[in-house]
A and B are shown apart, each in its own frame.
Chain A
Amino acid sequence: MHSRRSFLQKTALGTAGLSLLGPSLITEAAAGPARLTILHTNDMHSRIEPFPESAPQWAGLGGMARREALIDSVRRQEPNVLLLDSGDIWQGTPYFNFFQGELEYKLMSRMKYDASTFGNHDFDNGLGGLQKQLPNAGFPFLIANYDFGGTPLAGRFQPYKVFEKGGARIGVFGLGIELQGLVADKNFGATQYLDPVTVAKAQVQQLRQNERCDMVICLSHLGYKYEGEKIDDRKLAAQVGGIDLILGGHTHTFMPAPEPITGPQGHITLINQVGWSGINLGRIDYELRRGARPVRAVGSLVLPVGATC
């Protein structure tokens, strides 16, 4: 069985194009493909309500009650949804000034966010302000490259979490931007920033080898793209192999489609970011196809296909 499948795959690869590859594997699959729907936001910046109709830009767009309705409608149609956020939940409207982020966390909890990471503005009320609101967040903050040791938040956050959806193990880890110079010193205190590339390589190793994940997603607040040396999502994807999807933030980039980046060993990483203020909800649908071999098989791949390809 195994050798026959391998033979068919090799044949398909040797003689046919991408369009034949998928179907040849479908016929091999013991079980039908499962679907995984990734929904994501970044830089919502306390935009609880839609932009006012009088706003010079984005008038009438966004709003968390509408976002919840949209997410609910997707959940009614899709069995396997992961709802993720890439940080900067806070700062930007009086809701944050008056209620210190309480309402943002409560509404995200209602929407059943699976995880978020930290943006620089999530430190705007200091470590104490963050700590105070954590009980309102019914979802974890994943952050692999901030060391909170020696701060009041020591031990409060995990670097990653593994989600089981549609029979697949999906590892999600978080990366934050360098806080020095961006956040007032007193607001991040003794928090140590660790090199994202080194940390991401270790996270991928942990998730692929030890956690046997089929898919690895990075929640990043590094930013999409900078001139010069400053680390960004594109450089991260090029330098770290094994990340399937980077859901980015910080630069408020409206990407019309995810961008594929070829990293080490030819691994393809997709990068996506959906602007800011909850104007858009990002959605990427995956089809999970598994063969007759045990679920513990860990081969994982992102094939960017579809009408635009």
Chain B
Amino acid sequence: MRLLRPAAAGLFTLLLATACQRGPLQATAHLPATSTSQPVGRDIAPNAGADAIIKPYHDKVLAQMQEVLGVAPVALSKEPGENLIVNFVADLQRTAAAQALHQPIALGVMTNGGMRSPLPAGPITLGNVFELMPFENELVVVDAPGPVVQQLFNYAAPVRMAVSGATYTVGSDKRPQNILIGGQPFDPAKTYPIAISDYLAGGGDNMTFLRGVPERDTGLLLRSAIADHIRALTKAGQPVTAKIEGRVK
């Protein structure tokens, strides 16, 4: 109402000019008292024809979501600090990126925030993987110069975030110490490839230090990489597991 009054006042002159010079046509908007949005809610009976068209698609989605990709002896869940699900995903990111680009990838990064749901103990379905990774993030490799890698560990240390391919110690000042990458001391003069989602590489989750760092595509959707990795484990007769192995000390 407060908004409409000055607007309506402005209309008078326009109508006069318009009506006199160009002939009358008015499109008068009748706005309902409550809202112009009609809720599409439970009280509306669905159109039967549309439902019939959706049904076979629905059944296929359901069937595919129920596909069992592998089996986890224990749940891979998300705890503060180093945890099973982040270790599992960050590790497979390195493996998948290395396969795609035909070269070893030193580091793998996934945040707790990026993992939306644990993988439960027992059969792991494609639906579980969708819940874990609902976003359409792509797996990319950023070639991070030493100072950027240092910033990555500065970011990781206060929350004791594990980084695949590395170990480090959190100092009393919450700064990273004794950073080892591939078992070797971190060299600030070197450039390290990092397997990461395009979301984080673009500065998501406040990883602003990664913005502008050269990035290479793997052509893999992260969710597909996770699902394919689990399928490959199963094919090799292996369970879906990860370890807390002291990546953060």
A-to-B contact residues, CB < 8 Å: 5-6, 9-10, 13, 18, 21-22, 25, 28-29, 36, 48-50, 60-70, 72, 91, 94-95, 98-99, 103, 106-107, 110, 124, 168, 184, 186, 214-215, 244-245, 254-262, 265-268, 270, 272, 274-275, 278-291, 293-294, 296-309
Contacts and interface: CB of A to CB of B under 8 A. Distances in A.
B20 interface: yes
Contacts, number: 251
Interface stretch (B60-68, B78-86, B183-191, B236-244): B60-68
A49 B54 contact: yes
A284 B19 contact: no
B138 A65 contact: no
Interface stretch (B30-38, B69-77, B96-104, B150-158): B30-38
B24 A291 contact: yes
Contacts of A293: 23-24
Contact of B27 (A49, A281, A300): A300
B136 to A, nearest CB: 6
Interface in B171-195: none
B12 A13 contact: yes
A3 to B, nearest CB: 10
B32 A307 contact: yes
A289 B10 CA distance: 20
Contacts of B39: 61, 279-280
Q: Is the interface of A mostly helix, strand, loop or mixed?
A: mixed
B121 interface: no
A68 B47 contact: yes
A69 B47 contact: yes
Given A289-B26, A309-B8, 20 more contacts: A5-B19, A62-B40, A65-B51, A94-B65, A98-B57, A98-B60, A257-B35, A266-B14, A268-B11, A272-B36, A279-B40, A283-B32, A291-B25, A293-B23, A299-B18, A300-B27, A301-B25, A302-B29, A304-B7, A308-B32
Interface in B33-58: 33-42, 44-51, 53-54, 57-58
B16 interface: yes
B30 A285 contact: yes
A288 B198 CA distance: 50
Contacts of B40: 50, 61-63, 66-67, 70, 278-281
Interface string B100-127: 0000000000000000000000000000
A305 B28 contact: yes
Contact of B32 (A21, A36, A297, A306): A306
B15 interface: yes
Contacts of A304: 4, 7-8, 29, 31
A287 B28 contact: yes
A280 B37 contact: yes
A182 B209 CA distance: 19
A18 B4 CA distance: 12
Given A66-B40, A103-B57, A303 B11 contact: yes
A90 to B, nearest CB: 10
A94 B130 contact: yes
Given A49-B58, A70-B44, A301-B18, A286 B8 contact: no
B67 to A, nearest CB: 12
A260 B22 contact: no
Contacts of A65: 46-48, 50-51, 54
Given A257-B35, A272-B36, A307-B33, A110 B27 contact: no
Given A124-B136, A279-B39, A290 B25 contact: yes
B18 A260 contact: no
A50 B39 CA distance: 12
A186 B116 CA distance: 27
Given A65-B46, A284-B31, A301 B14 contact: yes
